[in-house]
Each structure stands twice: as C-alpha cells, then as structure tokens.
Amino acid sequence: MIEEFVESLIVNVFKIGPGSKLAESLNFFIYDSIKIIILLFVMIFLIGILRSYLPTKKIKKYLTGKKAGIGNVLAATFGAITPFCSCSSIPIFIGFIEAEIPLGISFSFLITSPLVNEYMAVIMLGVFGWKITLYYILAGILIGIIGGIILGNMKLEKNLVKDIAIRAQNISEKRFKLFKDRIRYGYDEAISIVKKVWLYVLIGVGIGAILHGYVPQEYLQDLVSKTGLFSVPLATLLGIPLYANCAAIIPIALVLVQKGIPLGTAMAFMMATAALSLPEAVILRRVMNLKLIGIFFGIVGLSIVVIGYLFNFLV
C-alpha cells in the first residue's frame, strides 16, 4: 500500500519517469522514511505499554542476573527472529536502553537483528543452499553475542545521550492505575522520541537514497575483484556506507561469487551492508555520542572481517 502510494506520488505528482536514478532515489527516500518513522512510533508505543506491566528492575535483574553472556545470547536470538534492517532495529534498541537493559545486551540485539532474519534466510536458502545459509546465520548470531559482550565490558554507558539515560532512570517511578494510563504513557513516549529522532531519520535515509540510486553495483564488483588478500576488509569498508534491504544485498553477493570473488569476501560485503550503514550512524547519533558509534562500528566491522576470512578459509 505504501509502495503504491510512493510510486504514484513520484510519477503523478513529481512527474518523474519510473526507472530513472532520480526516481529510484526518491522512491527509496520516501518509502523508507515513512516506514521507519511509523515503525519507530509503533514499536516505542508498544514497548512503552509493555514496560508499564514489567517492572524495570525485574527485567534488568532477569537479563543481568544470569551467567556471563546468557543475556547476550537471549538478545541475539531475539534479534535473529526480528525482520528489521539496521535502521528499523533502532526503535527496539532505544526501548531496551530506556528499560535499563544493560548496554552490551542491547547491542547484541542491535547487531544481530539486521544481520539475521527469517526472510534473509529464505532468500539465502534459494540462492546459496542450506549449508552456507546455516553458516551465515550462526556467524551472524556469534558476532552479535561476542560484540555485545565486548561492548558491555567496556562500560560505555556514559556515552549515551543524557536525556535518554535520565528518562531510563525515571521509568521505574511511574505508577499506572488504569489501562488508559498505560496507553497514554506509551503514546507520550512514542511522540517524545519521534520528535527528537525524525530529522536524523530523514538525513540518514536521504544519504542511503543517494547511494542506492547513484552508486553503480558494477563499480563495487570491479573494485573488490582487484584487491586480492585485502578484498575482505575492502568489501567490509565498501559495504558500511551503503543502506539496502536483504533482498537487494543477496543478489549482489551472488554476482560477486559468480565473478570469482571468494565467498567470504562476498559475505563480508553483505554483512557490512546489512549490519552497519551510514544512515544508521546518523540516527544513532540521537542516542549516543560519536565515540560510542565509532567503537560500535569498529568492533562489528572487525568481527565481520574475521568472519569473512574464516569463510574464505573454510568454505
């Protein structure tokens, strides 16, 4: 429904012919902006209502009171079954932070959610077969678990934006007598966050739209194919600025493999494009400072490089 509206808007209102680079970029920008902002509102609204029933202290105790890494495993597993891209997973990540769920555990979700999901698994199954698909899923979850544990042990909470941290501390003081109070709380939370984040969403998606419409796939394929041993880190660096959904990334990875590029290199490109993106960094800036964004991208990017080399060696 939204896609049809956006296509009609571009053709009938903006008078831009379908199939052009400008039309593709505009379609990407308008559709993803609407989708992410609606998702942001709905998820924060629902999480707000849910949190009104679940005492913050109990949630925090449940996820932190277990043996080291168990909370990260649970968060990464939850991330693996949620069908979100790198930007769309941020609303739930914000909800985790506001519920005082430890930062490392929250990052385990944020890393794994765009890396692994059911529709990516289905597409990969048809393109690469069950064995490579299974390896990819296990690698994605492993990156989420290990990355979250590392980030959690670095004690980086001070790098969160102050109003997010303050709001999280005040949630446990809320009391709700009627269901309408819970709905109102969820609504107020959603409105408050959307007001603070919408501009970052538009800027981030706008960058992604330009890259999506104007960066030729052939250029990336040719560049990666000429770098030999350094193809894995280069593929990761090339994938990070891009922003695309899994349905678009997997065919590109297949073309790279068909052109003789090692599987691990193609997978590194796909993982970096799925898990990290410049638009994601722009949106996260509303939640955390540049230092934390840099550390997050660095640890995940390095993990993807290691997985890429491992794929090249084993497969």
* Predicted local confidence at residue 74, as pLDDT: 86
Exposed/middle/buried for residue 1 (C-beta within 10 Å: 0-12, 13-18, 19+): exposed
The C-alpha atoms of residue 187 and residue 46 are separated, in whole angstroms, by: 9
Residue 176 backbone dihedrals phi, psi, to 5 degrees: -130, 120
Residue type at position 266: A
285 or 64: whose pLDDT is higher? 285
Q: Which DSSP helix (H) or strand (E) runs through 185?
A: helix 179-214
Residue 267: other Cβ atoms inside 10 A: 29
Residues 172 and 60: their CA atoms lie apart, in Å, by: 11
For 195-248, how does the pLDDT look when each residue is reduced to its tens digit (9 = 90+)?
766 776 677 677 667 766 666 666 666 666 666 678 888 888 888 877 665 556
> Contact at 8 Å (CB) between 232 and 308?
yes
Q: Rounded distance, CA 51 to CA 119, Å?
A: 28
Model pLDDT for residues 128-173, shown as the tens digit of each residue: 888 888 988 999 999 999 999 999 899 888 888 766 555 555 554 4
Contact 277, 200 (CB under 8 A): no
Output the six-digit token pair for 311.
Answer: 């794929």
Q: Position of tokens 């999506």?
A: 212
For tokens 């981030």, name the residue. 204
- Cα(256)–Cα(298) distance, rounded to whole angstroms? 24
pLDDT tens digits, 85-129: 666 677 778 777 777 788 898 899 889 988 886 667 766 777 788
What's CA 256's distance to the chain center, in Å?
Answer: 23
Which candidate, 154, 141, 53, 143, places its Cα nearest to that of 102? 154
pLDDT for res 300: 92
Q: Which amino acid is at 186?
A: G
pTM: 0.69
Q: Using a pLDDT cut of 70, give the percent of the chain over it.
A: 71
Average pLDDT, the chain: 77
